[in-house]
């Protein structure tokens, strides 16, 4: 079906708007004709197709192409790829057709932007495989990732037309992968908008409430900003600096995250805004020196907070971000963050990779951003995990804070906060990590598992007979280290399986026993192995001895051995046998079995979302704010339950909940807390833990409650007690 006259008008207006943007990047008539050819092919391919909103589908690739130019700063080839990004996926055109018309480079970019199709492994998420394919394009052309982020940004801007379950899936993908990717690629404005849009659709009431409060406090805030900035304006003009000064309010999502993390109301968020100074540097002295001169001028006016100084000029972030951040004491005792950067640094902060590439020739030293891309390429090419494991590990490298450490010769290395000496070893080289037995940190011998800090100088001690240990995987934090250890252990296990099978067959031959299914089952039961590979691996590694194999096989008590082993294995577990009975208060109108998610432990009354486990078929109930739910939605979006999960009221079930309390210690405080719990609320206390030091007390109360309302009412009562500074909800457990 062709588009209507009204549709054609909308398309012409969008195309005209894009053409205006294209004038910034087209250096010749050939460039302009290249873009026009892509537009007309996309228009023909998507003819008559509409988005869920009812508008012509062609408006979507046009919008993505405009984001690519205006908000990311890419060039002609990227615009062409953006216009064509859905042609292969949604129409009869093939990658070969695109290559014939537009060349190999455009075809490669479009192919990278096309969703995977076909058969996937049963244990692998199709979404995870798709994301993995997109990430693999980093090995060839990072522009594909940037176009994909632009595509996601426009989809998020128009998400209101999608049903609720699709919104949960798409916001889960966005907050779990695309927002962190935008952050890592230096696209701060896009990262913030993606986060805000996720919150707008997932938690609309909270979003609207914070937005309203930001607007209501704007006049008072602006009055304070004007007063704070007046002396800064004066001193910068006095020093003849060409600058722009602005105040940036925190994003709604950032404010909400802090409120959630610290469990405080909006009124207690005191760093709602930051002052940004962007200046045009002089040819001499260096940009770095001029930034420090401005910093010095400001600290002549306001007192700085030493532990809040962030020097990302001397050592830029891995995504290329450069700036000098300082927090100073402003008027009326209020701390204010001041950001100082040049126009070049500002463009890199807004446009990330594209601007970084533009200024790359000016860089005098090896660039941290290129180093990071190199590490990602290494991680991608060396990955041996399935797609879900790969993405989980890759995610770890996106949002983490960074530290800078040094080799014995003074070479800088950037690692995520929380990294160990072992991560450092693998960062140097996989062979060094595999042979590591210890480390000299600041010339002092330490275990290779010790966490390192920014500024440490590290030397790795190796031994030829050393090898990775299975527990290392849970100790290291970098993707490269995890993959290297997993790869080594996998090879070792395969060798053990082969060796173990040989030993097993040789031992059976000594007693003239033929290897059969029944023999194998008896031996597996006797030694508590679920799979034959597990049995062979343990034999090959020397964990299982075959000295008594004849007795084991010929004995009729193999089942007794299995029973004993199971009792021993399960002796440390506290999982109740009637677990299903405790989750009957949940209902959806279906007969599915429910399980409370252990990662967030929702209480009745909490906003919850259901996720159908692809392995067991059970519905796992998560709090709607749960980070693990976002991860699952990003990997298994089709398993999000469409119908809203509801708490039933017909059965009273007690839930063990934890409350964390902090405040000023005084005589009788614990007695007053206990009285509120037992007398005012008639709630049973299971355990109380109080620690007092230097006049400050911190305590945890484990109590039984029926729902979230009862818990919140109790917490509100605690807040009224004299001396209580903060009351937070801890990790809950269902009884």
Positions annotated as catalytic residues are: 89-90
Which residues, at least 6 apart from 547, have a Cβ–Cβ distance to it below 8 Å? none
Query: How would you classify residue 275: left for phi > 0, otherwise alpha for psi between -120 and 50, otherwise beta?
Result: beta
Taking the C-alpha atoms of residue 279 and residue 301, their distance in angstroms, rounded to an integer, is: 19
Q: What is the DSSP string of 681-716?
A: S---EEEEEEEEETTEEEEEEEEEESSHHHHHHHHH
In the block, which residue shows the tokens 């040789």? Answer: 506
Which residues, at least 6 apart from 35, have a Cβ–Cβ distance to it below 8 Å? 22, 26, 76, 79, 80, 83
Residue 310, helix vs strand vs coil: strand
Taking the C-alpha atoms of residue 109 and residue 113, their distance in angstroms, rounded to an integer, is: 6
Which tokens belong to 467?
């090898």
Confirm if 661 and 724 have CB atoms less than 8 A apart. yes
Among the listed residues 21, 93, 18, the one whose alpha carbon sits nearest the alpha carbon of residue 59: 18
In the block, which residue shows the tokens 């003074």? Answer: 410
Helix axes 627-635 and 387-399, enclosed angle (nearest 10): 130
Query: How would you classify residue 356: left for phi > 0, otherwise alpha for psi between -120 and 50, otherwise beta?
Result: alpha
Taking the C-alpha atoms of residue 438 and residue 449, their distance in angstroms, rounded to an integer, is: 8
Which residues, at least 6 apart from 578, have a Cβ–Cβ distance to it below 8 Å? none
Give the DSSP letter of residue 331: G
Q: Express the helix, strand and coil content of the chain in percent, nearest 5 each.
A: 55, 15, 30
State the distance between the two ends of the chain, measured CA to CA, in whole angstroms.
59
Alpha carbons within 13 A on the beta-carbon side of 102? 34
Confirm if 144 and 621 have CB atoms less than 8 A apart. no
273-279/335-342 β-pairing: parallel
333 to 238, 489, 637: CA distances (angstroms): 26, 56, 48
Confirm if 168 and 154 have CB atoms less than 8 A apart. no
Give the DSSP letter of residue 106: H
């Amino acid at each position: 079906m062709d588009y209507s006259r009204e549709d054609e008008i909308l398309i012409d207006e969008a195309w005209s708007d894009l053409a205006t943007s294209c004038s910034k990047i087209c250096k010749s008539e050939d460039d302009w004709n290249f873009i026009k050819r892509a537009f007309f092919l996309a228009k023909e391919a998507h003819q008559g197709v509409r988005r869920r909103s009812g508008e012509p589908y062609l408006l979507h690739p046009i919008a993505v192409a405009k984001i690519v130019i205006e908000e990311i700063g890419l060039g002609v080839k990227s615009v062409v790829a953006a216009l064509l990004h859905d042609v292969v996926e949604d129409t009869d055109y093939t990658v070969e057709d695109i290559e014939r018309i537009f060349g190999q480079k455009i075809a490669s970019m479009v192919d990278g932007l096309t969703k995977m199709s076909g058969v996937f492994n049963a244990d692998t998420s199709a979404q995870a495989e798709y994301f993995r394919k997109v990430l693999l394009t980093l090995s060839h052309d990072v522009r594909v990732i940037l176009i994909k982020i632009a595509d996601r940004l426009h989809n998020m801007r128009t998400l209101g037309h999608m049903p609720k379950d699709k919104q949960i899936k798409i916001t889960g993908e966005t907050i779990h992968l695309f927002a962190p990717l935008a952050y890592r690629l230096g696209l701060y404005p896009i990262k913030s908008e993606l986060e805000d849009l996720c919150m707008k659709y997932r938690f609309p009431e909270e979003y609207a409430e914070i937005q309203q409060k930001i607007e209501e406090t704007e006049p008072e805030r602006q009055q304070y900003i004007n007063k704070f900035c007046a002396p800064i304006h004066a001193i910068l003009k006095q020093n003849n600096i060409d600058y722009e000064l602005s105040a940036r309010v925190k994003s709604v999502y950032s404010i909400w995250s802090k409120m959630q993390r610290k469990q405080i109301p909006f009124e207690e968020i005191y760093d709602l805004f930051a002052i940004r100074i962007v200046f045009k540097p002089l040819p001499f002295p260096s940009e770095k020196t001029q930034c420090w001169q401005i910093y010095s001028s400001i600290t002549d006016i306001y007192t700085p907070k030493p532990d809040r100084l962030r020097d990302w000029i001397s050592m830029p972030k891995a995504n290329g971000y450069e700036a000098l951040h300082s927090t100073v004491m402003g008027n009326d005792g209020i701390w204010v963050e001041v950001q100082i950067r040049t126009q070049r640094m500002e463009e890199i902060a807004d446009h990330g990779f594209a601007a970084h590439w533009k200024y790359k020739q000016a860089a005098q030293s090896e660039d941290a951003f290129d180093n990071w891309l190199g590490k990602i390429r290494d991680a991608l090419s060396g990955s041996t995990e399935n797609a879900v494991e790969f993405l989980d590990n890759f995610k770890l490298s996106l949002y983490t804070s960074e530290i800078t450490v040094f080799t014995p010769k003074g070479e800088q290395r950037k690692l995520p906060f929380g990294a160990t000496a072992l991560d450092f070893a693998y960062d140097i080289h996989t062979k060094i990590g595999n042979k590591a037995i210890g480390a000299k940190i600041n010339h002092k011998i330490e275990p290779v598992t010790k966490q390192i800090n920014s500024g440490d100088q590290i030397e790795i001690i190796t031994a030829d007979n050393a090898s990775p240990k299975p527990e290392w995987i849970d100790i290291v934090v970098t993707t490269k280290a995890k993959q290297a250890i997993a790869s080594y252990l996998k090879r070792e296990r395969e060798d053990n399986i082969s060796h173990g099978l040989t030993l097993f067959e040789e031992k059976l031959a000594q007693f003239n026993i033929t290897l059969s299914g029944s023999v194998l089952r008896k031996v597996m039961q006797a030694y508590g192995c679920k799979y034959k590979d597990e049995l062979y691996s343990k034999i090959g590694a020397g964990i299982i001895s075959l000295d008594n194999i004849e007795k084991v096989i010929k004995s009729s008590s193999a089942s007794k051995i299995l029973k004993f082993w199971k009792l021993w294995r399960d002796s440390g577990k506290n999982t109740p046998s009637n677990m299903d009975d405790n989750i009957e208060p949940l209902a959806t109108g279906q007969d599915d079995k429910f399980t409370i998610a252990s990662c967030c432990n929702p209480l009745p009354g909490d906003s919850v979302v259901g996720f159908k486990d692809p392995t067991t078929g059970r519905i796992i109930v998560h709090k709607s704010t749960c980070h693990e739910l976002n991860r699952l939605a990003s990997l298994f979006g089709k398993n999000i339950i469409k119908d809203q999960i509801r708490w039933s009221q017909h059965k009273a079930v007690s839930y063990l909940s934890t409350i964390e309390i902090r405040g000023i210690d005084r005589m009788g405080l614990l007695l007053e807390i206990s009285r509120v719990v037992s007398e005012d609320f008639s709630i049973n206390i299971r355990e109380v833990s109080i620690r007092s030091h230097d006049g400050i007390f911190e305590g945890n109360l484990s109590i039984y409650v029926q729902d979230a309302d009862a818990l919140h009412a109790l917490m509100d009562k605690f807040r009224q007690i004299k001396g209580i500074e903060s009351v937070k909800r801890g990790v809950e457990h269902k009884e």
